[in-house]
Each structure stands twice: as structure tokens, then as C-alpha cells.
């Protein structure tokens, strides 16, 4: 992850913490506040951000960088998301294997 992308990630992670700490935010019935506990780079354009909530619990957000738009997006994955994402490496491998022969047409 290059320096500028990392700086943008840190800024976005803090921005998300601030937005989710808003007591007027939908579904923030307990007025929880979020703070960034850690940022764990997963690749050049992916990171896991762990938030600490005032309830004492933690929350996980997956951040992904969109180079064409030079911005980070995120979502808070459910168990179902994580299960589905675990299938991606095999699908990507299958596609690369399939596409290999197109190099010789």
C-alpha cells in the first residue's frame, strides 16, 4: 500500500468512526461511540478496520480502495458476507485457468 493510499485509508477510517458515533444516526439506539482500534492492511487495496465501541464490543469493517475514483469504500460484513467472500479465491483461480487459453486464439 503506497503512502498516499494509506493516508487516505486512515482518514476514511476516522471519518467512519465519527459518522457511526453520531447519536442521531439511524440504528444508534444506545448512543454508542466508535473509535479506530486498529487498521490491518490485507493487500494494496483492501484493509480490515477494527472499531472499539463504547459498549466494550468490537466491530469489523472491510475497506476497499477504488483506484479509478481514488477513494476508499467500506462495509460491515455479516457472517454471510464472510462465508460468501471465502469462495472468491477459488472462483478467481477458475477464471484465470479458463482465460489462459484465450491468450492463444
- pLDDT band, residue 27 (cuts 50/70/90): confident
Q: Considering the chain, what percentage of its residues have pLDDT values greater than 70?
A: 100
**Predicted TM-score of the model (pTM):** 0.88
Give yes or no for residue 28 having a pLDDT over 90: no
- The per-residue pLDDT for range 55-90, each reduced to its tens digit, is 999 999 999 999 999 999 999 999 999 999 999 999
Position 34 scores a pLDDT of 97
**DSSP conformation letters of 35-97:** EEEEEEEEETTEEEEEEEETTS-EEEEEEEEEGGGTEEEEE---HHHHHHHTTHHHHHHHHHH
Which domains, and CATH codes, for the chain?
3-77 (3.30.310)
Give yes or no for residue 21 having a pLDDT over 90: yes
- The per-residue pLDDT for range 46-59, each reduced to its tens digit, is 999 999 999 999 99
Position 19 scores a pLDDT of 96
Position 105 scores a pLDDT of 80
Amino acid at each position: 500500500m503506497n503512502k498516499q493510499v494509506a493516508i487516505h485509508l486512515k482518514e476514511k477510517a476516522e471519518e467512519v468512526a465519527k459518522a457511526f458515533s453520531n447519536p442521531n444516526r439511524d440504528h444508534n439506539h444506545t448512543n454508542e461511540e466508535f473509535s479506530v482500534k486498529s487498521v490491518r492492511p490485507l493487500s494494496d487495496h483492501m484493509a480490515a478496520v477494527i472499531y472499539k465501541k463504547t459498549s466494550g464490543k468490537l466491530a469489523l469493517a472491510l475497506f476497499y480502495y477504488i483506484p479509478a475514483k481514488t477513494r476508499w469504500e467500506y462495509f460491515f460484513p455479516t457472517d454471510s458476507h464472510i462465508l460468501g467472500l471465502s469462495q472468491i479465491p477459488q472462483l478467481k483461480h477458475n477464471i484465470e485457468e479458463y482465460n489462459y487459453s484465450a491468450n492463444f486464439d
